[in-house]
Amino acid sequence: MSAVRKLSDQVTLPCGVVVPNRIVKAALTEGLAGGDNHANERFVRLYRRWGEGGAGMLITGNVIVDRTHLERGGNLAIDGAQSNEALSSLAAMAQAAKAHGSLIVMQLNHAGRQTQKMINKHPLAPSNIGLKMGNGRFATPTPMTADYIEKTIEAFVHAALIAEQTGFDGIQVHAGHGYLTSQFLSPLSNRRTDEWGGSLENRARFLIEIIRRIRARARKSFIVAVKLNSADFQRGGFSEDDSATVAGWLQEAGLDFIEVSGGNYEQPRMINFDRKDPLAANKRESTMRREAYFLDFVPKLRKHVSIPVMVTGGFRSAEAMERAVGEDGVDFVGLGRPIALDPDAPKKLCPAR
């Protein structure tokens, strides 16, 4: 009989790194940087506190690889050469996060068309398709040139190598929630007719290329992860079938774990914003009871990947988390708002540590 899987289990990732338990702090944008978008004492304090809480792994809020495309003011940004001061602040942040045994993974992002006008009036994106939000906060984007696409892939790689240099255990590329990489994946926002658009293979090329290059250039034991939408929940958008197929390609490219989320600014399913699921007919009653918004997708995903799977969104009770791990094949439980409210939640859920 196989042993019962528990939240307190250690998990060994494909790169060989051992995660001390299955609770992961999901990315929560901090907005704590000054005008230089560098780490500072506020990040150090925050991550020391979260590290004390006992999560197996802490994923940072999104760190932007091109400061002209911040997700919001106050984001950390790593683009171009980094000053000694910027490097040592990042190193202090990583060290503080790890002081009590947690791993720290830096989330990398580029907001693309979801860059607000007050940050950039002329954002770049795969195609000139603006957000349908009608509140005037976002400009219609300009399509990226092939040259800028290549530069942006390298910007992700550069930021990943800075994370490695400053003591982070790995990176996670944010390929969900409608940001740039997710814009490439969706046929609604990517109407390109070159090698970066059209077929799913072409739409996934941007993300796969980033992962392939980071895997090739970082040390073998560096964690390389992706946060991927199970779906955009928009008709004609990135679907569950697309997502499962892309996940299989990511595994081939050397991924260590995949985090499942969903939605975007137009359809904010990741935080269950309006508590209305446009595709509710597909939702099983058992899933509603199990709290997590995207659990139904795991069996489909499992047909394509054997790497560890993290599910984030909606977990609130220890019972639902234990069940997801014990019965639903989830390897990591991602917690966002619960850990913001109670930084000691992981310790309470995994009293062994």
Alpha-carbon distance of 138 to 142, in angstroms, equals: 12
Restricted to residues 271-330, the positions that interact with ligand FMN (CB under 6 A) are 271, 312-315
Alpha-carbon distance of 80 to 229, in angstroms, equals: 29
Joined together, the tokens standing for residue 345 give: 């939640």
Closest to ligand FMN by CB, 27 vs 188, is 27
The yes or no reply on residue 218 touching ligand FMN (CB under 6 A) is no
Phi then psi dihedrals of residue 25, to 5 deg:
-75, 120
Closest to ligand FMN by CB, 323 vs 337, is 337
Helix intervals (H) in the chain: 41-52, 84-98, 146-165, 180-185, 200-217, 240-252, 285-289, 298-302, 318-327, 337-341, 345-349
Confirm if 261 and 228 have CB atoms less than 8 A apart: yes
Select from 190-198, 216-224, 299-307, 332-340 the region that touches ligand FMN (CB under 6 A).
Answer: 332-340
Confirm if 328 and 295 have CB atoms less than 8 A apart: yes
**13, 15, 21, 29: which one contacts ligand FMN (CB under 6 A)?**
29
**8, 82, 102, 107: which one contacts ligand FMN (CB under 6 A)?**
107
Joined together, the tokens standing for residue 161 give: 């190598």
Alpha-carbon distance of 307 to 250, in angstroms, equals: 10
The yes or no reply on residue 335 touching ligand FMN (CB under 6 A) is yes
Restricted to residues 158-217, the positions that interact with ligand FMN (CB under 6 A) are 174, 177
Closest to ligand FMN by CB, 197 vs 247, is 247
Cβ within 8 Å of residue 8, ≥6 positions away: 21, 22, 350, 351, 352, 353
In the complex, which residue's CB is closest to ligand FMN? 336
**27, 159, 305, 325: which one contacts ligand FMN (CB under 6 A)?**
27
The yes or no reply on residue 26 touching ligand FMN (CB under 6 A) is yes
Residue 199 burial class via C-beta count within 10 angstroms: exposed 0-12, middle 13-18, buried 19 and up: exposed
Alpha-carbon distance of 12 to 27, in angstroms, equals: 21
* Residue closest to 181 by CA, chosen among 106, 268, 252, 110: 110
Closest to ligand FMN by CB, 43 vs 197, is 43
Restricted to residues 41-70, the positions that interact with ligand FMN (CB under 6 A) are 61-62
**Residue 130, amino acid:** G
The yes or no reply on residue 261 touching ligand FMN (CB under 6 A) is yes
Closest to ligand FMN by CB, 143 vs 185, is 185
Closest to ligand FMN by CB, 226 vs 244, is 226
Closest to ligand FMN by CB, 109 vs 152, is 109
Residue 201 in 3-state DSSP? helix
Compute the radius of gyration of the chain from its Cα atoms.
19
DSSP class of residue 347 equals H
Q: Which residue in this structure is represented by tokens 């580029």?
A: 110
Go through the chain and tell me how many residues it has.
Answer: 353
Report the nearest approach of ligand FMN to the CB of residue 147 (Å): 28
Closest to ligand FMN by CB, 197 vs 346, is 346
**Count of positions on this chain that bind ligand FMN (CB under 6 A):** 21
Alpha-carbon distance of 311 to 26, in angstroms, equals: 10
According to DSSP, the residues that pair with 77 across neighbouring strands are 64
**48, 100, 337, 353: which one contacts ligand FMN (CB under 6 A)?**
337
Binding mask 121-160 for ligand FMN (x = CB under 6 A): ----------------------------------------
Report the nearest approach of ligand FMN to the CB of residue 259 (Å): 8
Closest to ligand FMN by CB, 26 vs 305, is 26
Positions touching ligand FMN (CB under 6 A) are: 26-29, 61-62, 107, 174, 177, 227, 261, 270-271, 312-315, 335-338
